[in-house]
Amino acid sequence: MSKSNEPRVVIIGAGMAGILSGIRLREAGLEDFTIYEKAERLGGTWRENTYPGIGCDVPSHIYSYSFAPNPDWSHLYSPGAEILEYFERVAESHGLIESIRFGEEIVRCEFIRGRWMIETSTGRRDEADFVIAATGVLHHPKLPDIEGFDSFEGACFHSARWDHSVKIDGKRVGIIGTGSTAVQIVGAITERVEKLSLFQRTAQWIAPQENTPYSEEQKSGFRADVKGLHAMRREMAQAFHEAFSNGLLDANSPQMTNLQETCRKNLEENVHDPELRERLRPNYQAACKRLVISPNFYEVIQRPNAELVTDPIECVEPAGVRTRDGTLHELDVLVLATGFRVDRFVRPTEVIGRGGVKLEQVWAERPAAYLSISIPDMPNFFLLNGPNGPVGNFSLIEIAEQQIGYVLQLVELYRSGACREVCVSSDALARFDAERVEATRGTVWSTGCRSWYLDDRGVPATWPWSFERFCEEMSAPKLEDYELVA
């Protein structure tokens, strides 16, 4: 193979998917790559989110790389700091740190004469044959459109920007939102604060979560039997796909019926005051919104120092939050657990493809990508966990692992000399997306609720097919859907 067929690759982001990309490129014998990371530390979402109670609600043995099982996970669902340490350890043990440029955000990528010209926030210029955007999905905090935030005299921050210099012990703390984040925070801080006010716009179905720690004996058993650990991991993943992922695709599936019943029982058996129970009861199907799981939310929200506020928020005032019934909820700290702008992906990076086509134009209506990976007129530019992928279906790690395997097959076309440029055709993307939209109709996400899974048309921006279909699609690119330029 001639040297000129060895591409240079630039990876955007040193989170879970960026680290994975570096490891996989190196395994494929591709040494010429750089990972650009805007922050001073790797870890993506696990670096940015440090709120009390943060953890992953996908079992840790599944939420880890297939090639780096971790016998030492402390819990079935391990806390965020432990997950961050895991990613750091994997990156270090694979010698990846020297390939990461920290503190440099890629601000612009332009495809000129067959190569991507790259510009970073420090003014550095780089060039690459391929760009892999591993920027994550939930990384731009969404601030609520509520009047008066600036006038608030206490401390106020978004959950993904937790201000650890602010004391919460013995304080009056308000939390806006009832998603996975808010529920974890409530579970972790209520016993520490003087008063907790949870501002709920929409009730959430909550599935119970048992999170017993792994014993030392179990961990040494995992260490001694790595083959067994791999097998357990595979079994857990398969059970997850069967009991949950594949059930999401049919709102009337037995899995969804069971889940609904589990959530209903959780609410009815654990919330004793009938009035509070009804205020906590959602009026839509479980798993229509991203399912929340919690070991203690219902117990904690019934404590004497906790208050569920369901009257709509009118405004924020210097002393607290005023609700529409006229009540002023006096607060020292206000936490905005209000979610993320989920349509950003690689943006705000300016991406300009073949013939000056701007990503901003291509995505003017809404973001789209073929198999959530490739975009027309953006040759040799691939996204991991891009638009309309299985973000709510499977572990994001197993998705990214399969996607990078797919992307490497496209890179291989370049290495073998089959082409210099490869990206999906507009027709193939249009066909794929029409089929995808059609397939979302019977899914649980389409049963009528407000959720971040829905795009601006109310169509689920997700993968509406099974795990098996995902694996099949990822196993080999259908080259007839791609434009190859020699």
Contact positions vs ligand NAP (CB under 6 A): 55-58, 138, 144-146, 159, 176-182, 184, 201-202, 290, 313, 337-340, 450, 452
Smallest distance from ligand NAP to CB 175, Å: 9
Which C-beta is closer to ligand NAP: that of 145 or that of 216?
145
The conformation of residue 389, written as its DSSP 8-state character, comes to S
Least CB distance to ligand NAP at residue 387 (A): 15
Of 158 and 354, nearer to ligand NAP (C-beta) is: 158
C-beta of 57 vs 481, nearer to ligand NAP: 57
- Least distance from C-beta 420 to ligand NAP, angstroms? 38
* Shortest spacing between CB 205 and ligand NAP, in angstroms: 11
Distance of CA 67 to the CA centre of its chain: 21
If the CB atoms of residues 43 and 339 are measured against ligand NAP, the closer one turns out to be: 339
CB 445 within 8 A of CB 392: yes
Residue 211 Cβ, how far from ligand NAP at the closest point, in Å?
11
Cα 213 from Cα 218, distance rounded (Å): 10
- Least separation in angstroms between CB 324 and ligand NAP: 12
Integer-rounded Cα radius of gyration of the chain: 23
Locate all alpha helices (DSSP H) within 363-451, ordered by sequence.
396-415, 426-439
Of the pair 159, 296, the CB lying nearest ligand NAP is at 159
- Select 60 or 440, whichever has its Cβ closest to ligand NAP: 60
Q: Which is nearer to ligand NAP, 202 or 302 (CB)?
A: 202
| Choice between 40 and 145, CB closer to ligand NAP | 145
What distance in Å separates the CA atoms of residue 4 and residue 8, rounded to the nearest whole number?
A: 10
Cα 113 → chain centroid: 34
CB of 131 to ligand NAP, least distance (A): 26
Cβ pair 185, 295 in contact under 8 A: no
In the complex with ligand NAP, the residue whose CB is nearer, 25 or 335, is: 335
Calculate the alpha carbon distances from 81 to 136, 200, 211, 362 in Å: 18, 27, 16, 38
Size (the chain), residues: 486
Burial of 78 (0-12, 13-18, 19+ CB in 10 A): buried
Residue 175 — φ and ψ, nearest 5°?
A: -130, 125
User: Strands, DSSP E only, in 13-49?
Assistant: 33-37
Amino acid at 376: P
Neighbouring residues of 278: CB distance < 8 A, sequence distance ≥ 6: none
Sheet holding 320-323, edge to edge: 313-317, 320-323, 328-330
3-state secondary structure of 274: helix
Least CB distance from residue 57 to ligand NAP, whole Å?
A: 4
- Cβ proximity of 196 and 173 under 8 Å: yes
Cα distance from N-terminal residue to C-terminal residue, the chain = 16
* Shortest Å distance, C-beta 396 to ligand NAP: 9
Amino acid (one-letter) located at 193: V
